[in-house]
Amino acid sequence: MKKIICIFILILPLLSSGQQLPLYSQYMLNDFAINPALAGSKSYSPIRLNVRNQWAGLGASAPLTNTLSFHAPLRDGQFGLGGTVFQEKTGPYSQFGLMFSYAYHIKLSNSNSTRLSLGASAMLTQHSLNQDELEFKNPDPGFESGVVSSLAPDASFGAMLQSPSYYIGGAIHQLFETTFREASSNIFGDNDQVRHYVLNGGFKYFISNDVFLEPSFFIKTIEGGPVQLDVNARLVLDKFWTGVSLRTSKSVVALVGLEIGKLQFGYGFDLTLSSIGSYTSGSHEISLGFNIPQMRNRRHTYYW
């Protein structure tokens, strides 16, 4: 237990300064998870399940994230609705979140080959701390046991410019920076949700009708925190694809995926190059998807 607490103390500053929302390596398979503007942006209704075991080898201290999302187009693709459920646990701390999203898609060309999408999400997150999993060298007899939890409402906003050959957009998450636990002392300050900024883009370079190369980038930061930059390259060979990501937070990600009919499978392995990599065997992420076809043909053009 002492080893677990020591490792948790080591990784806690990384979590608090770098992110409060789930971390993904396969966001190109579920772009809706990082930008509410993409709700209803497909010609089908995608269901996506994502399971991530970050820093495997840390035992109970390793962050474990589960995410389930769904979104669908409405009124011939002019609008979109979607929802996301996520759960993340890191040692004694865990969070459970719900997001409900709405998007409006504006066509910028007569053929609808280029569109501007705007979207917003209402968020509700439950933050929990299991104090029974904490161990102290000199425990205070008056220290309370049990689980302490708090609900925090918030919101996100996003925009995305899309065409059949490129896309670029961004999102702001946890707009209101809601306080989910007030400080008992002015020394430490309140526990607030931190505003996250996301910017990503990419384009397709077609080698043949069924083969193309997709370079892309992803930038994420928080106010007063470090900037994370991912530089990605994905090679798509009909229904099979593979790729690699280089992340400035000192990790390299290998990606592979396959589509079989309406089913989709993806796997990502993060090799950690920072100091914490000495204690872990990397991070594993599995993505499963199912595309529900629309009941009627639509007049609009879809892509990505």
- What residues does 42 pair with on adjacent strands? none
- Residue 289: per-residue pLDDT: 96
Q: What one-letter code names the amino acid at 247?
A: R
Q: Hey, how many other C-beta atoms are within 10 angstroms of the C-beta on 249? A: 18
2-135+143-293 belongs to CATH 3.30.70.240: no
Phi-psi region of 238 (alpha: psi -120 to 50; beta: other; left: phi over 0): left
Q: Using DSSP bridges, classify how beta strands 179-181 and 205-206 pair: parallel, antiparallel or unpaired.
A: unpaired
Residue-wise pLDDT for 1-52, tens only, equals: 444 444 444 444 444 444 678 889 999 889 999 999 999 999 899 999 999 9
Angle, CA of 275, 278 and 280, to the nearest 5°:
110
Of 246, 252, 222, 242, give the one whose Cα is nearest residue 232. Answer: 246
Residue-wise pLDDT for 211-230, tens only, equals: 999 999 999 999 878 899 99
Burial class (CB in 10 A: 0-12, 13-18, 19+), 208: exposed
- Residue 304: per-residue pLDDT: 54
